[in-house]
A and B are shown apart, each in its own frame.
Chain A
Amino acid sequence: MESTDTFPVVTVNFPDALRTKVGNHRTVTASGRTVREIIDALEQVYPGLRFHLCYETGDLRAFVNVFLDKENIRYLRGLDTLVTDGTTLRIMQSVAGG
């Protein structure tokens, strides 16, 4: 099994609506090479979190945005976007209401 010791470690910032799902933290850290792996890693620690972010198909929910620093990953490589050590992922809900 591949060691995750050398994988990038990122900070993940959660909106209010999801903080109860991650131990009432505003931010947590996780390691992985891509956004998908970060979500997978978080799911191990916080079971059920992934369903809030992704459909069962594995796709990111339509009105969930993930920003790698200030870049929306939809305009990068989506969940396969590579992350680098020390970066921040911000999970935010889409603007709604026009």
Chain B
Amino acid sequence: MAHQQTYRPGTILVLVGTKRGLFLLTSRDRENWNVEATSLRASRVFSAVLDQRKGYRLFAADNGDFFGTFLRYSDDFGETWQEPEQGIQFPQGSDQKLTNIWVIEPGRQSEPGVVYAGVDPASLWVSTDDGNTWVINEALNSHPTRPRWEPGAGGLCLHSIIADPSNASRMWIGISAVGCMRTDDGGKSWVFANKNTRASFLPDIYPEFGQCIHHVIQHPTQPDTLYQQNHCGIYKSLNAGEDWIDIQQDLPSEFGFPIALDVHHPDTVFTVVEDPAARNNVGSQFTVYRTRDAGASWEPLTEGLPVGDGVRLGVLRQAMCTDTLDPCGIYVGTNTGQLFASHDQGGSWHLIADFLPSIYSVTAAVLV
């Protein structure tokens, strides 16, 4: 609890999950940053998030290499961690086994105890008591098409969760390589939402499901508007995922993992695209791309980002985020342990942490 007095309201806190542990970066001005290691030191942290709906509770996906995978939470900014009383586990004797926890998302403001988690094998887990006990969403786990779901290279992972703040019965999830799914009845049933998104690696490139969605986000004030970065393109939906519009435009690759937007100017969206074979920057310039017109056009952002024949940086699925300030900050972590940040909507960039383990996830919060 000591840290809660240390971090004053207004502090920007960036949680960086890595191949070996979870780190905290804090700043008052987004120019000077303090880097601290948490006591989660040895595990693969695919997701970490601060829930401020009831004080400060930090959730982390502790994907262990040896003795299991656990969702943990901390009420002292990572000094000590608790395991849920009933954690994310399939029933004993099940034919399913938890591989990795991919994403943890606090629920809506209107459901303060609710937390969601997505895992491999693809399933959605829900807690209604601030993360202390977890139950699986049975409708998704027993979806009639499930026997035909095929994993991507990263596993059959449920990696994106959007609980619609405007509609308590509606959610979207993203599963690789199944696609986008939506529920309109509070999780009792799920439908696919993949029309017009490509699966170039299948004989039928526009299947009902089987797309390798990489990340999906929602517009903050137009709840039917979604953006997704996919293995095969970058897309926008204006009708809650009923169909999708290709917005790759002049981006140099259709392949990328992360996508994030500016909550104060939500037509401003950021992504990083990669060489699909090499899984790092296209050419020799590491580049973040920005649209300010909801995907009608993209511009490369490079000021302060590295360039050279030896620059080969990859950005993983959860490793880019924005903060909630205006002008918004953007944070981009690389698979070689650099964390770049911009506090002017991507106009210029600074290296705010280096020599970290491979970065898997980045989330930002402004402490209230």
Q: Residues of A at under 8 Å CB distance from B?
A: 17-18, 48, 50-53, 55-59, 61, 63-64, 93-94, 96
How many CB-defined contacts (below 8 Å) exist between A and B?
42
Q: Residues of B at under 8 Å CB distance from A?
A: 65-68, 83, 87, 89-98
Interfacial chain A residues near B92, Cβ < 8 Å? 50, 56, 58
Q: Tell me, rounded to whole Å, the shortest Cβ–Cβ distance linking A4 to chain B.
A: 20
Partner of B65, one of A18, A53, A63: A63
Q: Tell me, rounded to whole Å, the shortest Cβ–Cβ distance linking A71 to chain B.
A: 20
Interfacial chain A residues near B91, Cβ < 8 Å? 56
Q: CB distance B93 to A61 under 8 Å?
A: no
Q: Tell me, rounded to whole Å, the shortest Cβ–Cβ distance linking B85 to chain A.
A: 9
Q: CB distance A52 to B68 under 8 Å?
A: yes
Q: CB distance B67 to A18 under 8 Å?
A: yes
Q: How many Å lie between the Cα of A20 and that of B188 in the bound state?
A: 39
Q: CB distance A56 to B83 under 8 Å?
A: no
Q: How many Å lie between the Cα of A52 and that of B67 in the bound state?
A: 4
Q: CB distance B65 to A64 under 8 Å?
A: no
Q: CB distance A51 to B89 under 8 Å?
A: yes
Q: CB distance A56 to B66 under 8 Å?
A: no
Q: CB distance A61 to B66 under 8 Å?
A: yes
Nearest 4 Cβ contacts at the A-B interface: A55-B97, A56-B90, A93-B66, A52-B67
Q: Tell me, rounded to whole Å, the shortest Cβ–Cβ distance linking B287 to chain A.
A: 34
Interfacial chain B residues near A61, Cβ < 8 Å? 66-68
Q: CB distance B67 to A53 under 8 Å?
A: yes
Q: CB distance B66 to A63 under 8 Å?
A: yes
Q: CB distance B96 to A56 under 8 Å?
A: yes
